[in-house]
Amino acid sequence: MATLVQAIRLALHVGEERLGVTDIFGEDVGPPLGGVFTQSQGLRTAWNTPLDERGIVGTAIGLALAGQRPVAEIQFCDYAFNTIDLLKLAGGVSWSSAGDYNCPVVLMTPVGSGIRGSIYHSHSFDAQATRLPGWKIVMPSNPLDAYGLLLSAIVDPNPVMLLPPKALLRAKAGPDERIPGEPDDERALAKMIDAPLGDRTRWRPEWPDVREVFVPIGKASVKRAGRDATVVTYGRMVPLAMQAAASVASEGVEVEVVDLRTLHPLDWDAVKASVKKTSRVLVLNEDTEITNFGEHLVRRLSEELFYDLYAPPRLLAGAHVPGVGLADNLERASVPQLEGVVAALRELVSHQP
């Protein structure tokens, strides 16, 4: 049973062996380390770059324009802010050239809090990323989705950004989230593909014969069905929403949890279908709340489903502070916690129009 980070590694392996990926690169991505989260260990086409995020994004664009198939990484999304204009350019290649060129870059950058990452290493990137027209933005909440979304990203002719939540990188797959072909025993998998500690010069991974799964970009997944309220969420907040839903279920409240998986292009049909059924909706993410991607969802919900709603659509998001403070109490006060989600759900279902 792969963890999310192993799932990424397996997808990159499939990408370079079967789907034409030519370069997997970024800071400390190549040997000996294979990525600060182990995401690129043992990969044939992984290489280390200078410590230069703009160079990484620029080179990825150049490679893509020259028919190569790059997967680039920004080590932490906290350090992607100086690349914004290059990201804008990548998103604009096809449109600006009226379709002459396209720019098939895959950019991975881990996001979010929950690993005691302090002010930097805890930022979210959803709002920034969704302000980049021409990019597809995907955000997995479990290993199988990470695997399948990454494979879809690799074969997409457009720039695609994968935003894996750092706090879920070691999360294990649920029972129906297995990657076909991976060994049943998690220790067996670790033995095959995790680099050993110490000298790795002679180590070679033994790749399991995993099969391709393409999780479609632009398709949400209903993680739990319910009739009383909908939580629209993604990434790290999905497991939290599931816990909250389980908690209120004991009070007789049935919450539907929609995992967007792709932020853009958005699966509006899935959101609409769920909210039309439940008439109450909570949007949940951990990015700072002002000009938050969830505000876009709330705007569309209000404009398009106003007469279907029994309660005002609600957004629960991170505090608008410059970073996530290191101390436990600060982090808990910054990003949504289980109690907060449960309280928001109770309020939502008890609201009378």
Q: Could you list the active site residues?
A: 121
Q: Does 136 bind other proteins (CB under 8 A)?
A: yes
81 lines the binding site for other proteins (CB under 8 A) = no
Q: According to the binding rule CB under 8 A, does residue 15 interact with other proteins? A: no
Nearer to other proteins, 53 or 287 (CB): 53
Task: Assess 64 for contact with other proteins (CB under 8 A).
Answer: yes
20 forms part of the interface with other proteins (CB under 8 A): yes
Interaction between residue 70 and other proteins (CB under 8 A): yes
**3-state SS track over the chain:** CCEHHHHHHHHHHHHHHHCCCCEEEECCCCCCCCCCCCCCCCCCCEEECCCCHHHHHHHHHHHHHCCCCEEEECCCHHHCHHHHHHHHHHHHHHHHCCCCCCCCCEEECCECCCCCCCCCCCCCCHHHHCCCCCCEEECCCCHHHHHHHHHHHHHCCCCEEECCEHHHCCCECCCCCCCCCCCCCHHHHHHHHCCCCCCCCCCCCCCCCCCCCCCCCCCCEEEECCCCEEEEECCCHHHHHHHHHHHHHCCCCCEEEEECCEEECCCHHHHHHHHHHHCCEEEEEEEECCCCHHHHHHHHHHHHHHHHCCCCCEEEEECCCCCCCCCHHHHHHHCCCHHHHHHHHHHHHHCCC
Interface with other proteins by CB under 8 A: which range of 4-12, 17-25, 285-293, 335-343? 17-25
Q: How far is the CB of 211 from other proteins (least distance, A)?
A: 17
Q: Which is nearer to other proteins, 89 or 238 (CB)?
A: 89
State the distance between the two ends of the chain, measured CA to CA, in whole angstroms.
46
Contact of 122 with 112, CB cutoff 8 Å: yes
Pick 70 or 226: Cβ nearer other proteins? 70
158 contacts other proteins (rule: CB under 8 A): yes
Can residue 31 be called a binding residue for other proteins (CB under 8 A)?
no
Note the Cα 264 to chain centre separation in Å: 12
Which residue lies nearer to other proteins by CB, 89 or 260? 89
Q: Does 243 contact other proteins by CB under 8 A?
A: no
Q: Work out whether 52 is an interface residue with other proteins (CB under 8 A).
A: yes
User: Which of the stretches 3-11, 153-161, 221-229, 254-262 binds other proteins when contact is defined by CB under 8 A?
Assistant: 153-161
Q: Examine residue 102 and tell whether it contacts other proteins (CB under 8 A).
A: yes
99 binds other proteins (CB under 8 A): yes
Q: Rounded to the nearest whole angstrom, what is the least distance from the CB of residue 82 to other proteins in the complex?
A: 8
C-alpha to C-alpha distance for 129 and 234, rounded to whole angstroms = 14
Closer residue to other proteins in complex, CB, 87/341? 87
Question: Quick one: which of 33, 36, 155, 222 contacts other proteins (CB under 8 A)?
Answer: 155
Least distance (Å) between residue 3 CB and other proteins: 29
* Chain-centre distance for alpha carbon 166: 9
Q: Which of 196/265 has CB closer to other proteins?
A: 265
Q: Does 97 bind other proteins (CB under 8 A)?
A: yes
If binding is defined by CB under 8 A, does position 104 make contact with other proteins? yes
Measured CA to CA, the distance from residue 58 to residue 71 in angstroms comes to 12
> In this complex, which beta carbon is closest to other proteins, that of residue 95 or of residue 306?
95
CA separation for the pair 62, 40 (Å, rounded): 22
At 46, which amino acid appears?
A: A
Distance CA 146, CA 164 (A): 7
Binding-site size, other proteins (CB under 8 A) = 46
Nearest distance from C-beta of residue 85 to other proteins, angstroms: 5
Name the minimum Å distance from CB 32 to other proteins. 16
At its nearest, how many Å lie between other proteins and the CB of residue 57?
A: 7
Residues at the site binding other proteins, with contacts judged by CB under 8 A: 19-20, 22-23, 49-50, 52, 54-55, 57-70, 85-86, 89, 92-104, 133-134, 136, 155-158
